[in-house]
Amino acid sequence: MKLIVLGLSLGSSWGNGHATTFRALLKAFAARGHDVLFLEREVPWYAGAHRDLVDPDFCRLEYYPDLAALESWKDEIAAADAVIVGSYVPDGVAVGRFVQAHARTSAFYDIDTPVTLAKLERGDFEYLSPEIVPGYDVYLSFTGGPTLDRLERHYGSPAARALFCSVDADKYRPLDVPKKWDLTYLGTYSPDRQPTLDTLLVEVARRCPDKRFAVAGPQYPDDIDWPANVDRIEHLPPVDHADFYSASRMTLNVTRADMIAAGWSPSVRLFEAAACGTPILSDRWDGLDQLFEPGREIMLADTTEDAIAALREDAAAMGQAARANVLAAHTADHRAEELERHLNEAMNKKGERMTHTTRLNGKLTLVAGGAGFIGSHLCAALLAKGDHVVCLDNLQTARPSNLRELESHPNFEFVEADITGPLPASVADRAHRFGRVYNLACAASPPQYQADPEHTMLTCVVGTSHLLRLAEQAGARFLLTSTSEVYGDPEMHPQQEGYRGFVNCTGPRACYDEGKRAAEALTFDYGRMGRAEVRVARIFNTYGPHMNPDDGRVVSNLVCQALSGDPITIYGDGSQTRSFCYVSDMVAGLMALMESGGDGLQPVNLGNPNEMTVNELLGHVLALTGSTAAVEHRPLPIDDPRRRRPDIDRAKALLDWEPRVPLAEGLAATCAWFAEELGGAGGQPMVAAAE
Ligand code: UDP
């Protein structure tokens, strides 16, 4: 395969463990017949004399000066089979977004997982942010165990897999040198490791003056009182490591606090010491026993006494067993094989996802109006499908409680904003990441949209324009939810999409009807001009849970009034007709339309053709609730359409879609939901059994 890696460094091992890790892994990976390109950000501290690998023979190594320069690698990134971004890559979040937008399969390789997660938790997004985790097809981690679960469940990674460090078995092997020390430790000073080093080595040295010890590594403070039988080696170059281990009867493995907390985080030193056949005395952490068998391949110690007891044992066989284990499972060749397996798995899964879902290259789905009645159900369905959803809503008519169940979903984000204004930076700044834009943002109930008609008109026209521009910039597909109101008080029945409508452009409904007609015009213009791929749904009356009890529409009014025993308001004589579609059917229709083929340059009616009068609807509501509330007739609102019923032949043909939920079922679910919302409303009869 062709693999591109954007890692912290391959060219310089100066002050970082990444270069040696990448060198070993990619060399072994290339040896398996793969083509590797390493892209490294040019930074002054890894340049000049600090560059200790200039022209690797196992891969191409190229430098890019800054983020903007990555643009020139776009085609190569798009052509690669997989692209890996490593931890600590400068501007890692932006690099990650760029890679996710262009690569066929992307992976994050975290050589510092516990550090990364601690950073994410405190809001430090130096090289990774929670929002881009789901966009990586696989998260490869130096830490295994429950951390992988956390990455998948909490952060929404589609697949988190362990890819531990490994050992270079050519460099780390037993050497025939005399034993100089009984117990050694090789490692840079670290305050969190020092107490263990004190307990398991320094104090042991004090109590065993006849034995010899060594501590190799830089940065130990001058005030440490080393016993006389401890040799201090300030700098031990890697070429001398095998010699050091081979001269040790036993060596100590001390783990950093964050690695102990995470568990399942073997250090490279652990594998290197084992590869030299040196018996290892280790501190204790979860997962260690799954790598080395305690008592057979490794010894564990908590106290000075434990360490002294270990020194008394003849542990040579243990060293050999640990070495055999490392050679069988922890060399760079093993890691390269695992990497190949994980990438293949990600590529295959990605292939499946691309044919089954809209989520291309980890793209985001924007749902404007996502906190509203239909919008909240749409968000839930998109999340269930695996989309990463950004919900934008001004909460004008929506209820935040509609999002209660979605808020904790790792792939869900809520942004409070009004689309009549410029889109907020949290959306605009990552425009390129959106793959789908749904526009459901607008008050849709007659009393609500007439309450602030100017805002309604601007939401339809200016708001839609803002979202269309976003879709154009993103290269995203855009879906407008238009309305059956574009047909006005129709003279054609049922209404087909070809019917041009009978709208009163000067009446109180015009702000919505004409607003949506203008929004349609704008959307189709974008589509015709090739500025965005567009879809337009004309939504007919829809009902279900999450309707606002104060919404003012007929289903919510009648159900709430019936449940609470308030007078039931019927406008006019109740002989006007509507056709009511249950919300889950509507959401399925919207998603099917979004993903449908064709040029999208024709509107599609979505609704349930099951037409009934308002009086008939009332009959169903009364039967279901057992309510005996009185009916109060009110004047018919101006321009209230007399009849409405969708012709859904186009939706059937184009989307293979039609409503499935019968009124009795949908209404029962709706009544039950409102009954719960209203909290049992004053002892009035509650929902009777569904018909
Ligand atoms: N309606 C009614 N009582 C109400 C609310 C609405 O009789 O409490 C009537 C309204 O006049 C219209 C029909 O029910 O004829 C549907 O109204 P809704 O507000 O649900 O939406 P519309 O279809 O008019 O957009």
Helix ranges (DSSP H) in 299-387 = 304-312, 316-329, 332-356, 373-385
Measure the CA–CA gap between 364 and 135, rounded to whole angstroms: 9
How confident is the model over 609-643, as pLDDT tens digits? 999 999 999 999 999 999 999 999 999 999 999 99
Position 351 pLDDT exceeds 80: no
Residue 673: how many CB atoms within 10 A of its CB?
16
How confident is the model over 90-116, as pLDDT tens digits? 999 999 999 988 899 999 999 999 999
Quick one: which atom of ligand 1 is closest to the CA of 636? 11
Q: What angle do CA 191, 196, 200 make, to 5 degrees?
A: 140
pLDDT-above-70 percentage for the chain:
97
Position 63 pLDDT exceeds 90: yes
Query: Would you say the CATH fold of 355-543+582-609+642-660 matches that of 2-162?
Result: yes
**What CATH fold (topology level) applies to the domain 355-543+582-609+642-660?**
Rossmann fold (3.40.50)
Residue 309: how many CB atoms within 10 A of its CB?
12
Q: Which residues are catalytic?
A: 512
Going from the C-alpha of 486 to that of each of 262, 535, 537, the distances in angstroms are 58, 16, 11
Quick one: which atom of ligand 1 is closest to the CA of 644? 23
**pLDDT confidence of 583, banded at 50, 70, 90?**
very high
Quick one: which atom of ligand 1 is closest to the CA of 571? 7
How confident is the model over 461-511, as pLDDT tens digits? 999 999 999 999 999 999 999 999 999 999 999 999 999 999 999 999 999
- CA of 505 relative to ligand 1 center, distance in Å: 20
Q: Return the CATH number of the domain spanning residue range 183-330.
A: 3.40.50.2000
The upper half-sphere exposure of residue 47, i.e. CA atoms within 13 Å in the direction of its Cβ, equals 8
Distance of CA 341 to the CA centre of its chain: 22
| Across 579-602, average pLDDT | 95
Pocket of ligand 1 (CB under 6 A): 445-446, 541, 553-554, 557, 569-571, 576, 578, 614, 637, 640
| Across 404-417, average pLDDT | 90
Which residue of 555, 578, 613, 643 sits with most ligand 1 atoms within 8 Å of its CB, as the best mutation to test the pocket?
578
Quick one: which atom of ligand 1 is closest to the CA of 541? 23
DSSP code of 603?
A: -
Confidence (pLDDT) at 427: 93
Confidence (pLDDT) at 228: 98
Confidence (pLDDT) at 361: 52
Which protein residue has the closest C-alpha to ligand 1 atom 3?
570
**pLDDT confidence of 353, banded at 50, 70, 90?**
low
| Across 245-274, average pLDDT | 95
- CA of 447 relative to ligand 1 center, distance in Å: 10
Which residue of 540, 542, 550, 614 sits with most ligand 1 atoms within 8 Å of its CB, as the best mutation to test the pocket?
614
Which protein residue has the closest C-alpha to ligand 1 atom 14?
554
Instruction: Name the more confident of 411 and 572.
Output: 572
Mean pLDDT for the chain overall: 93
**pLDDT confidence of 17, banded at 50, 70, 90?**
confident
Which protein residue has the closest C-alpha to ligand 1 atom 11?
571
Q: Kindly state which CATH superfamily the domain 2-162 is placed in.
A: Glycogen Phosphorylase B; (3.40.50.2000)
Quick one: which atom of ligand 1 is closest to the CA of 570? 7
Furthest CA-CA distance within the chain = 106
b/e map 80-116, b = 16+ CB within 10 Å? bbbbbbbbbbbebbbbbbbbbbbbbbbbbbbbbbbbb
- CA of 643 relative to ligand 1 center, distance in Å: 11
Which residue of 513, 516, 554 sits with most ligand 1 atoms within 8 Å of its CB, as the best mutation to test the pocket?
554
| Across 318-335, average pLDDT | 97
Position 686 pLDDT exceeds 90: no
Give the three-class secondary structure for 110.
Answer: strand
Confidence (pLDDT) at 414: 94
- CA of 554 relative to ligand 1 center, distance in Å: 4
Confidence (pLDDT) at 254: 97
Confidence (pLDDT) at 465: 98
- CA of 649 relative to ligand 1 center, distance in Å: 25
| Across 299-319, average pLDDT | 96
Quick one: which atom of ligand 1 is closest to the CA of 576? 15
Task: Please report how the helices 554-564 and 663-677 are oriented relative to each other, as an axis angle in degrees rounded to 10.
Answer: 60
Which protein residue has the closest C-alpha to ligand 1 atom 1?
554
- CA of 631 relative to ligand 1 center, distance in Å: 15
Quick one: which atom of ligand 1 is closest to the CA of 617? 14
Position 689 pLDDT exceeds 50: no
**pLDDT confidence of 151, banded at 50, 70, 90?**
very high
Going from the C-alpha of 516 to that of each of 451, 513, 691, the distances in angstroms are 17, 5, 37
Position 3 pLDDT exceeds 90: yes
Which protein residue has the closest C-alpha to ligand 1 atom 6?
554
- CA of 553 relative to ligand 1 center, distance in Å: 5
Domain ranges for the chain, please list them.
2-162, 183-330, 355-543+582-609+642-660
- CA of 571 relative to ligand 1 center, distance in Å: 7
Which protein residue has the closest C-alpha to ligand 1 atom 19?
553
**Is the peptide bond prior to 146 cis by the omega test (within 30 degrees of 0)?**
no
| Across 210-235, average pLDDT | 96
How big is the chain, counted in residues? 691
| Across 389-396, average pLDDT | 95
Which residue of 487, 550, 559, 571 sits with most ligand 1 atoms within 8 Å of its CB, as the best mutation to test the pocket?
571
Name the pTM for this structure.
Answer: 0.54
